[in-house]
Amino acid sequence: MRRSPQHGTRGKAAFENDEVYLEELVPSARHFDVQVIGELNGNLVYLCERDSSVRRRNQKVVERAPAHHLADRARTELYDAMLRLMRSVGYTHAGTAEFLRR
């Protein structure tokens, strides 16, 4: 593979790293957000999931809460995944975890 003279310079300049990562394209995925609050004592609380799959030019156009396309079992799996993620990093403060689901 030939590299252009500017290969990786933008990444290097912005992030001090010129590595490139590829992700699998999931064309029919739904995009869900889960809001979470983490306390210093380790408690985590999730507020609600939102379906933010309706997009135009990669920008959210509509957010729907609760996500009406999500079955109860899938909703539970989403919350469990979010809690595992946040506990694994010792998350505190308020934030949003984002997920793609086929």
Looking at residue 4, its pLDDT comes to: 52
Give the CA count within 13 Å in the CB-facing half-sphere of 24.
Answer: 6
Told to judge if 12 belongs to the known catalytic residues of this protein, a careful annotator would answer no
Q: Cα 49–51–54 angle (5° rounding)?
A: 160
Query: Catalytic one among 55, 60, 69, 87?
Result: 60
CATH 3.30.470.20 fits 26-101, yes or no: yes
The pTM (predicted TM-score) of the whole model is 0.68
List the domain boundaries for the chain. 26-101
Q: What is the Cα Rg of the chain in Å?
A: 18
pLDDT tens-place values along the chain, 102 residues long: 455 555 557 778 888 887 877 888 888 888 999 999 999 998 999 988 999 888 888 788 888 889 988 899 999 999 999 999 999 999 999 999 999 888
